[in-house]
Amino acid sequence: MDQKRSSFTGKIGFVLAAAGSAVGLGNIWRFPYLAAKYGGGIFLLVYIILAVTFGFTLMAAEIAIGRKTGLSAIGAFKQLDKRFTFVGYLAAIIPAIILPYYSVIGGWVMKYIAGFATGQAHVMAGDKYFSEYLKIIGEPIIWFLLFIGLTAVIVMLGVEKGIEKVSKVMMPVLVVLIFGVAVYTIVAMPGAWEGVVYYITPDFSKFSIMTVVAAMGQLFYSMSLAMGIMITFGSYMKKDISIEKSIHQIELFDTGVAFLAGLMIIPAVFAFSGGNEDALGTGPTLMFVTLPKVFDSMPAGNIIGAVFFVMVFFAALTSSISLMETVVSILQDKLKMKRIPACLAVLGFSLAMGLITCLGFNVFKDIKPLGLDDLLTFFDFIANNILMPVTAFFTAILVGFVLKPQYLIDELDIGGAFKAKRLFKVMIKYIAPIFIVAILVSSVLDAFDIVKM
């Protein structure tokens, strides 16, 4: 912690690095299935409102904490107020929970690259293909091992900068491809237009508390909030950069990619299922079931499919690297571990957890903790819907009542006047804490089936 901190060369460097961490499977895989499941347009609307108010405030607070203290989460909370040190630890556990199952999905992506590259689009487009694939005990584990192994090797060698460079080139191409596939689906497939309507017109009768619960969990996940990552990023940020402007750019980028991914996947679900509710509620497997059908129906679908999944792979890899890097640096700082042993420890833990996650689809398929469909969904729920709101809650209390908002506003004002002062104060003091508690209570009640929301 006491080594000299390097800093981002300039504004673009910061925004790109933060956006690189933010844009990943969360945008391309997670957002569309939640939007499909939780009412389409109404989910989109709730998500956007939350992003520009709640997400903005929390991201501003985290980056400002990082830049002000020059420390990452555990050290930062400790320095700000000893009693809040535990929040830093809480934040630190989250990436460790996400990394294993993130890598399981990364493995699915690799499997799909191989499938399309070997001309299997037609086979993969079969209705039961993916659900049958998950039942296999060996293969998904092997792809998972490859993905997490690759992540670990990159983190151990410290060559993530190289990967990030590649991915910065890939990212714009990915956006263009997503857009292209969306347009193709909408224009070429009968029934897709209803999907567009479902996706962009809010139907208030589909609104429930669970829409908000899901949207908020997604917001944390997608913007890499409430897990100390933005604090670390802030600690590397130079003083002459406007935090506010940077956040606007990150948000626009992150939400833009998520929006387009939804536009690519949801109309396709309609086209192939006739708007059948069951197809909309498929959950985590949605992208892997729907997209092969689209690619299979396209000319040169195998090539487009392979290229598409390669891009997704790079987006996922940069995110998994930043997840692992976060956990590794915490072990290095706190346990004074050397880099390689720290990497190996994180790898070992992730292997065990990832293995359990893979087996959750076959051997352990009857274990449905909290009534959730599988272990992957369970880990995802614990991280996004329980631990992240708790972390965000204490962050808001610390900033709103212990330090007082002005303390961070002073920091936010450096590098350009902070315009959203009022919003920041009201959000962080009152709305955010009350709102988070409400959300937390409802998601727990729902999970334990006490009240169905």
Provide the binding-site residues for ligand PHE, judged by CB under 6 A: 21-22, 24-27, 95, 221-222, 224, 227, 229, 319, 322-323
Nearer to ligand PHE by Cβ, of 198 and 253: the residue is: 253
- Region of 176 on the Ramachandran plot (φ > 0 left; ψ -120 to 50 alpha; else beta): alpha
CB of 85 to ligand PHE, least distance (A): 21
CB of 450 to ligand PHE, least distance (A): 30
CB of 75 to ligand PHE, least distance (A): 19
Nearer to ligand PHE by Cβ, of 184 and 221: the residue is: 221
CA distance 345 to 168: 29
Give Cα 434 distance to the centre of its chain: 24
Nearer to ligand PHE by Cβ, of 229 and 280: the residue is: 229
Measured from each CB, the residue nearest to ligand PHE is: 26
CA distance 126 to 137: 20
Nearer to ligand PHE by Cβ, of 21 and 69: the residue is: 21
Token digits of residue 306: 């392979």
CA distance 270 to 193: 8
Closest-CA residue to 335 (of 126, 365, 59, 343): 343
Nearer to ligand PHE by Cβ, of 221 and 309: the residue is: 221
Taking CA atoms, 114 is separated from 109, 137, 308, 354, in Å, by: 9, 18, 12, 21
CB of 28 to ligand PHE, least distance (A): 8
Taking CA atoms, 102 is separated from 107, 389, 424, in Å, by: 9, 19, 32
Nearer to ligand PHE by Cβ, of 60 and 109: the residue is: 109
Nearer to ligand PHE by Cβ, of 33 and 418: the residue is: 33
CB of 127 to ligand PHE, least distance (A): 27
285: CB partners within 8 A, 6+ apart: 33, 130, 131, 134
Nearer to ligand PHE by Cβ, of 291 and 323: the residue is: 323
Contact status, residue 36 vs residue 284, Cβ threshold 8 Å? no
Token digits of residue 27: 């945008």
CB of 222 to ligand PHE, least distance (A): 4
CB of 193 to ligand PHE, least distance (A): 28
DSSP per-residue string spanning 106-117: HHHHHHHHHHHH
CB of 60 to ligand PHE, least distance (A): 17
CA distance 194 to 276: 11
Nearer to ligand PHE by Cβ, of 26 and 400: the residue is: 26
CB of 254 to ligand PHE, least distance (A): 7
Nearer to ligand PHE by Cβ, of 134 and 321: the residue is: 321
CA distance 175 to 302: 19
CB of 363 to ligand PHE, least distance (A): 27
Q: Is 186 exposed, middle or buried (0-12, 13-18, 19+ CB in 10 A)?
A: middle
> What's the DSSP call for residue 453?
-
Token digits of residue 114: 């191989």
Helices (H), 137-207: 139-157, 160-188, 192-200
Closest-CA residue to 145 (of 293, 294, 322, 351): 351
Backbone angles phi, psi at 88, to 5 degrees: -60, -45
Nearer to ligand PHE by Cβ, of 333 and 380: the residue is: 380
CB of 405 to ligand PHE, least distance (A): 25
